[in-house]
């Protein structure tokens, strides 16, 4: 006797449907738990629902630079624009690239839209300026009468001793107190300090010996005016708001030939800078590299064009002969110093290296900033949308009402037509809803996904797509019952046919969503993203929940016996009687002649 063949287990998991159901239920519990653990239990709402302003920027090449729109350049531009928007004091703003040449800027309600429009629509201003004076970020002490004796002097001496002790303690702990160093390629410049802090404050400026604000020594002829020196002394760069105001004032009002007061990007230092020595457009290339020969760690290598190389050689030659901090130049972007390296000597040849306590991330950041200053890109605002919070709330309520009506109609249809099978469909819809909701909440926390009105429409359309998958499977099972089979064989034989149809249908829907996401920008991508996400979840639910649940229910008497309210009654379906082979052998034909 031949050994019985082992049955193959289908992807639906009819062999052990309980395990498959347990798997998807555990996954649901994990997602819901992750949602509550993240501290966010509602999806992030887009500008059209929460209220605010949305800009769509389109990148354009400048004359003579036809191939400047690249992924790297667009990502760098998005980072610069995001910093500008955040500089306005905006919270929860969204700046992201979409497609090859568009950047979407979403600014929540409560923001000055006109000011934001001016910020996102202008090109970055990058320049190299010599440092005239450097001081700690806080306000400098006001001039007071000098004391020849008494407790005041003692207190001053004690204060200076404390400052020196703190600086010594920082040096012992290994905290950087210097600046990056600019040098010619291949030179043996020793890195000193940190790019992230970007400061080189002399001991005299840390603990002023005289009761008056420090000034450059020697003061160059035609140096900063008294008003500018007072502004420098009064400036406090220790707060984000003050740094933003100083950056805006420097970028809006200062001309290339003017002296300017700026803060460094980390709020550790304030700088009084001279006129622009080299403009950002003179930089032709900047990249981060690991120095393996001298083991100085990460550095930023930059190159200049012909005119930029000459100007950079001249200014570095002059700065190298000056005392600290006038031997430094500041890299200023949009009125803020992103780095202020020290010059070791003249740097001819059009190439330079900026080294210091860089890691790969900080080196890449500075290289991108230098590159963006040389980018031949400009941006036009091609679309601007402003939505009030009240209008957004009305749209959200209308969208949810439409979804509720659509869901109610689907439920009524399932109950009337499929009766007991409607329980399977409703349970599957509930599982799909839980997975969709939790994933949207988690994506909002992880990648900033915001639920806008088109995305709500995509979720409503997905109700029909999910219900269509159930209907295809149910009809395949009912077709098998009409052929005279009992429920359990019908469930298993109908699954392969239904599976192919469901996969083809969902593939077409997902392909349409993917194409729509790629070729569109703005809010339409929210519709495409939600449609694609729910289509994928439809496959997961049908394979790992609906099919195993049907396998289990086929073993229950209510469904297996074809109860009239099960939706699988053979009589109502017009089932054929089961075919049975006759046991009698057919008689041989009789010859008429013999008869």
In a domain, 165, yes or no: no
Strands of 112-212, DSSP E: 126-136, 181-183
Maximum Cα interatomic distance, the chain, rounded to a whole number of Å: 154
Q: Which domain holds residue 98?
A: 52-120+381-385
From 385, 411, 446, the end of a domain falls on: 385
CATH number of the domain that 66 lies in? 3.30.70.3400
CA end-to-end span of the chain, whole Å?
A: 46
| Count of domains observed in the chain | 3
In a domain, 432, yes or no: yes
Same domain, residue pair 303 and 186:
yes
DSSP H helices in 6-70 = 17-37, 47-50
pLDDT for the residue numbered 84:
65
3-state secondary structure of 52: strand
Residue burial 395-406, b: 16+ Cβ < 10 Å; e: rest: bbeebeeebeee
Please give, one letter per residue, the 3-state secondary structure of 239-258: CHHHHHHHHHHHHHHCCCCC
In whole angstroms, what is the distance from residue 460 CA to residue 429 CA? 12
pLDDT for the residue numbered 507:
94
Same domain, residue pair 286 and 308:
yes
CB 344, CB 189: distance < 8 Å: yes
Beta bridge partners of 383: 56
CB 181, CB 174: distance < 8 Å: no
The DSSP letter of residue 222 is T
In a domain, 8, yes or no: no
In a domain, 362, yes or no: yes
In which residue are the tokens 């300026």 written?
Answer: 129
Same domain, residue pair 207 and 285:
yes
Phi and psi torsions of 138, nearest 5°: -75, 175
Cα dist from 472 to 300, 469, 570, whole Å: 60, 5, 18
DSSP H helices in 520-569 = 524-541, 547-553, 557-560
pLDDT digits (tens, 9 = 90+) for 406-446: 888 888 988 888 888 889 999 999 999 999 999 999 988 88
3-state secondary structure of 489: helix
In a domain, 582, yes or no: no
Same domain, residue pair 463 and 430:
yes
Same domain, residue pair 445 and 521:
yes
In whole angstroms, what is the distance from residue 209 CA to residue 198 CA? 24
Residue by residue, DSSP assigns 515-529 as HHHHH--TTHHHHHH
In a domain, 151, yes or no: no
Q: Nearest CA to 91 among 129, 52, 140, 128?
A: 52
Same domain, residue pair 341 and 489:
no
Same domain, residue pair 39 and 59:
no
List strands edge to edge, sheet with 377-387: 94-98, 102-108, 52-61, 377-387
In whole angstroms, what is the distance from residue 42 CA to residue 438 CA? 9
Same domain, residue pair 35 and 58:
no
In whole angstroms, what is the distance from residue 491 CA to residue 175 CA? 70
Q: Report the residue count for the chain.
A: 595
pLDDT digits (tens, 9 = 90+) for 486-525: 888 899 999 998 999 999 999 999 999 999 888 876 678 8
Same domain, residue pair 366 and 404:
no
Cα dist from 392 to 42, 47, 355, 595, whole Å: 16, 8, 50, 96
In whole angstroms, what is the distance from residue 455 CA to residue 451 CA? 6
- Residue 418 tokens read as 């499929």
Is the bond preceding 247 in cis, omega lying within 30 degrees of 0?
A: no
In a domain, 481, yes or no: yes
pLDDT for the residue numbered 197:
32
Same domain, residue pair 457 and 519:
yes
Strands of 274-339, DSSP E: 278-279, 283-291, 297-304, 329-333, 336-339
CB 429, CB 404: distance < 8 Å: no
In a domain, 368, yes or no: yes
CATH number of the domain that 563 lies in? 1.20.1640.10
Same domain, residue pair 105 and 132:
no
Q: Which residues in the chain land under pLDDT 70?
A: 1-15, 62-65, 83-84, 86-93, 110-124, 140-179, 184-224, 252-253, 294-296, 372-376, 389-392, 521-522, 576-595
Same domain, residue pair 24 and 62:
no
């Amino acid at each position: 006797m031949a050994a019985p063949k082992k049955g193959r287990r289908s992807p639906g998991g009819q062999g052990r449907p309980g395990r498959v159901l347990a798997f998807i239920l555990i996954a649901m519990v994990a997602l819901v738990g992750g949602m509550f653990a993240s501290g966010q239990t509602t999806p992030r709402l887009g500008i059209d629902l929460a209220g605010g302003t949305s800009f769509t920027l389109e990148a354009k090449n400048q004359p003579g630079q036809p191939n400047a729109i690249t992924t790297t350049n667009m990502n760098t531009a998005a980072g610069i624009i995001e910093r500008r928007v955040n500089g306005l004091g905006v919270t929860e703003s969204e700046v992201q690239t979409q497609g090859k040449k568009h950047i979407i800027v979403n600014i929540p309600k409560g923001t000055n839209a006109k000011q934001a429009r001016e910020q996102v629509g202008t090109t970055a201003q990058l320049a190299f300026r010599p440092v005239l004076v450097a001081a700690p970020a806080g306000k400098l002490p006001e001039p007071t009468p000098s004391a020849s004796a008494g407790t005041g002097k003692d207190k001053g001496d004690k204060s200076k001793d404390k400052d020196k002790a703190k600086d010594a303690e920082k040096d012992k702990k290994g905290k950087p107190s210097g600046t990056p160093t600019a040098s010619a390629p291949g030179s043996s410049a020793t890195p000193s300090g940190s790019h992230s802090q970007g400061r080189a404050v002399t001991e005299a400026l840390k603990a002023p010996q005289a009761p008056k604000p420090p000034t450059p020594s020697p003061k160059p002829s035609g140096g900063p005016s008294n008003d500018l020196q007072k502004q420098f002394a009064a400036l406090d760069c220790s707060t984000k708001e003050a740094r933003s105001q100083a950056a805006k004032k420097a970028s809006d009002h200062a001309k290339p030939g003017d002296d300017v007061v700026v803060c460094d990007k980390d709020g550790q230092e304030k700088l009084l800078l001279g006129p622009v020595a080299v403009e950002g457009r003179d930089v032709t290339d900047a990249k981060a590299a690991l120095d393996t020969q001298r083991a100085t760690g990460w550095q930023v290598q930059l190159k200049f064009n012909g005119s930029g190389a000459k100007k950079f050689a001249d200014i570095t030659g002059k700065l190298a002969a000056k005392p600290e901090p006038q031997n430094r130049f500041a890299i200023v972007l949009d009125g803020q110093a992103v780095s202020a390296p020290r010059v070791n000597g003249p740097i001819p040849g059009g190439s330079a290296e900026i080294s210091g306590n860089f890691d790969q991330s900080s080196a890449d950041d500075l290289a991108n900033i230098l590159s963006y200053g040389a980018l031949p890109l400009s941006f036009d605002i091609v679309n601007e949308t402003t939505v009030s919070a009240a209008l957004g709330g009305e749209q959200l309520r209308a969208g949810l009402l439409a979804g509720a009506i659509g869901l109610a109609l689907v439920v009524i249809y399932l109950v009337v037509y499929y009766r007991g099978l409607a329980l399977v469909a409703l349970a599957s819809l509930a599982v799909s809803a839980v997975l969709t909701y939790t994933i949207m909440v988690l994506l909002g926390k992880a990648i900033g996904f915001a639920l806008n009105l088109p995305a709500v429409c995509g979720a409503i359309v997905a109700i029909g797509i999910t219900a269509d998958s159930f209907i295809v499977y149910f009809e395949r099972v009912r077709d098998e019952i009409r052929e005279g089979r009992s429920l359990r064989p019908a469930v298993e034989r109908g699954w392969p046919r239904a599976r192919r149809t469901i996969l083809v249908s969902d593939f077409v829907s997902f392909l349409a969503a993917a194409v729509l996401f790629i070729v569109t920008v703005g809010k339409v991508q929210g519709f495409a993203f939600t449609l694609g996400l729910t289509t994928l979840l439809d496959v997961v639910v049908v394979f790992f929940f609906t099919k195993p649940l049907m396998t289990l229910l086929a073993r229950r008497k209510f469904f297996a016996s074809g109860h009239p309210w099960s939706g699988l009654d053979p009589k109502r379906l017009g089932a054929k009687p089961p075919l049975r082979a006759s046991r009698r052998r057919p008689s041989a034909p009789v010859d008429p002649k013999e008869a």
